[in-house]
Amino acid sequence: MKILIAGFQHETNTFAPTKASWQSFVQGEGFPPLARGSGVLALRDVNVPAGGFIQAVEAAGHTLVPVIWAGASASAHVTEDAYERIAGEIVEAVQRGGFDAIYLDLHGAMVAEHLDDGEGELLARVRAIVGRAIPLVVSLDLHANVTEQMFAHADAMVAYRTYPHVDMAETGARAAQILMRLAKEPERGLTRVVRRIPFLIPVNGMCTLAEPARGTYDRLGALERDGVVSLSFAPGFPASDFPECGAVVWGYGFDKAAVTAAVDALASTIVAQERDWEVRFLDPDAAVREAMRLAERATRPVVIADTQDNPGVGGDSNTMGLVRALLRHGASDAAVGLIWDPRAAAKAHEAGLGATIELKLAGGSGVPGDAPLAGRFVVEHLSHGRVRFDGPMMNGMWTDIGPVACLRIDGVRIAVSSVKMQIFDRNLYRAAGIEPERMKILVNKSSVHYRADFDAIAAAHLVAKAPGPMAADPADLPWQRLDPRLRLRPNGASLGEMRGSAERASSHAPAR
């Protein structure tokens, strides 16, 4: 076969402060930078779905027709310009023809300025050109908000099974196996069964290194047999304000009864464990006090996840709440990363190594309770910001986070970058001259992904809710367009119930 391959990845937090522009995709911001043509095939050795797909189909002797691959860090909406430029290149390639099948490496939670369902719209445009005769298979992120439009236009979709996402390439390989099977048996259409979960799941509760997510995916693997070709569970991305946001279980197979039984069994398990999907959060002061207490006897660093400013879910990685808490409590041998502040990095490079500079660091989120940190900082390290990832996520990929500086204030070292990026690899600290293993406390601008590389060195993990643009508890978000029947947190009220309570309270309020 000749297989057209393209990728377009973005996780959209509609409540976030910064949109994803064309330049965001050119840079990659933690993803591989935008690639075209043969450059897409260079992803074969990178832990992204396209990499696993390329290896699998090339090993089977098929030919690839590479178009474009583009990804950007989670943020607010993808701009209309960026969406139409990237989607337009994919659609133009489809119109040219010359292929027997299509594979798309998508995220599943993309919202553009002009579209609620970025992936569904792209799939609809592709299907309108090729009809039903060309098999179209898609890989999705574990955080996909999977829509009816996506299901309608893809022959099959498969999602990651790990968070941190260490199985991205493996997911691409599974998509390849399904596509090759569909091509061999075009007369046998796959049966699809879908079940939606009636509550939103906090991002921190989705970590597959812990329960209940770990057991849920073990159960998924055990159910994927006896006529079930593929089974997926996407807990969703609970920060996209549109009606189809939320968790979904789905499966494909040639035996409808077997697929239905497997999907129902998995969905029932998730709903039965609803209370277990809740997450315990600490405020900044409590998190720092607990980290300092644990660090007194620990031989490895205690890690605090600054989850509400995670650039991997739409934060800008520049809030100062936890830095202030570290300073308030006199923490020592503490490091924070990455703080996105190009102007501070430039000023440090201008001043030079060893200099003491006065500046107002970051704090530009506009979130109540956050502000720049004014102080005197010692420039302890400077670098160009060229980094290779050696951890399990994006292993082997090089990235450029621009001029980097380590700025020390009292006992706290701050890794400052010129490009926004979630700290999911220890080498991002090393770019600022910080050896993370030697620190007592690490404050990571991340929710869960950091654990792929930091679990091996961490004495403990704490999750803090410092002021930031991404509410760790989805019930804290100002939802407007969500399905009103959906519970906003495990065992919480639905959006409709909350609106009803607010209306009743308003009607009983005394007139002024």
Q: Is 282 helix (H, G, I), strand (E, B) or coil?
A: strand
What pLDDT is stored for residue 500 in this prediction? 82
What pLDDT is stored for residue 479 in this prediction? 96
Average pLDDT over residues 332-355: 98
Q: Is 142 helix (H, G, I), strand (E, B) or coil?
A: coil
**Tens of pLDDT, residues 182-206:** 988 876 779 999 999 999 999 999 9
Whether 449 shows a pLDDT value over 90: the answer reads yes
Q: Strand order in 156-159's β-sheet?
A: 35-36, 63-71, 2-9, 101-106, 136-140, 156-159
Would you list the domain boundaries of the chain? Answer: 1-189, 191-279+482-512, 284-464
The amino acid sitting at 308 is Q
Average pLDDT over residues 365-392: 95
Beta strand pairing call for 302-306 and 441-444 = parallel
Contact between 66 and 5 (Cβ < 8 Å): yes
Cβ burial of 166 (10 Å; 0-12, 13-18, 19+) is buried
Q: What phi, psi does 65 have (nearest 5°)?
A: -115, 90
Q: What percent of the chain has pLDDT over 70?
A: 97
Whether 236 shows a pLDDT value over 70: the answer reads yes
C-alpha to C-alpha distance for 145 and 370, rounded to whole angstroms? 30
Q: What CATH number has the domain spanning 191-279+482-512?
A: 3.30.70
pLDDT band at 506 (very low <50, low <70, confident <90, very high): low
Q: Tell me the residue length of the chain.
A: 512
Average pLDDT over residues 224-229: 93
Expressed in percent and rounded to 5, the helix, strand and coil fractions of the chain are 35, 25, 40
DSSP letters along 293-323, please?
A: HHHTT-SS-EEEEEGGG-TTTT--S---HHH
Q: Which CATH architecture has domain 1-189?
A: 3-Layer(aba) Sandwich (3.40)
Whether 124 shows a pLDDT value over 90: the answer reads yes
Average pLDDT over residues 385-402: 92
Average pLDDT over residues 399-428: 97
What pLDDT is stored for residue 487 in this prediction? 97
Q: Is 248 helix (H, G, I), strand (E, B) or coil?
A: strand
Whether 24 shows a pLDDT value over 90: the answer reads yes
Q: What percent of the chain has pLDDT over 90?
A: 90
Q: Greater confidence, 366 or 461?
A: 461
Whether 58 shows a pLDDT value over 60: the answer reads yes
Whether 501 shows a pLDDT value over 80: the answer reads no
CA distance to 13, 96, 154, 387, 486, per residue, from 496 (Å)? 21, 47, 32, 47, 8
- Provide the H-helix boundaries in 339-390: 342-351
What pLDDT is stored for residue 29 in this prediction? 87
Name residues whose C-beta falls within 8 Å of residue 504's C-beta, 6 or more positions apart in sequence.
none
Q: What phi, psi does 205 have (nearest 5°)?
A: -80, -5
What pLDDT is stored for residue 194 in this prediction? 98
What pLDDT is stored for residue 508 in this prediction? 59
Residue 431 has which token pair?
């770019």
Whether 505 shows a pLDDT value over 80: the answer reads no
Name residues whose C-beta falls within 8 Å of residue 134's C-beta, 6 or more positions apart in sequence.
99, 100, 101, 102
Name residues whose C-beta falls within 8 Å of residue 38's C-beta, 6 or more positions apart in sequence.
66
Name residues whose C-beta falls within 8 Å of residue 434's C-beta, 6 or more positions apart in sequence.
335, 337, 381, 406, 413, 415
Helix (H) or strand (E) holding 67: strand 63-71
Whether 312 shows a pLDDT value over 60: the answer reads yes
Strands of 418-498 (E only): list them.
Answer: 441-444, 460-464
DSSP state of 465: -
Whether 510 shows a pLDDT value over 70: the answer reads no
What pLDDT is stored for residue 184 in this prediction? 86
Q: How many helices (H) and strands (E) does the chain have?
A: 15, 19
Whether 507 shows a pLDDT value over 80: the answer reads no
Average pLDDT over residues 28-32: 88
The amino acid sitting at 224 is E
pLDDT band at 511 (very low <50, low <70, confident <90, very high): low
Query: What average pLDDT does the structure give for the chain?
Result: 95
Among residues 445, 451, 489, the alpha carbon closest in space to that of 468 is found at: 445
What pLDDT is stored for residue 285 in this prediction? 98
Residue 53 has which token pair?
């797909």
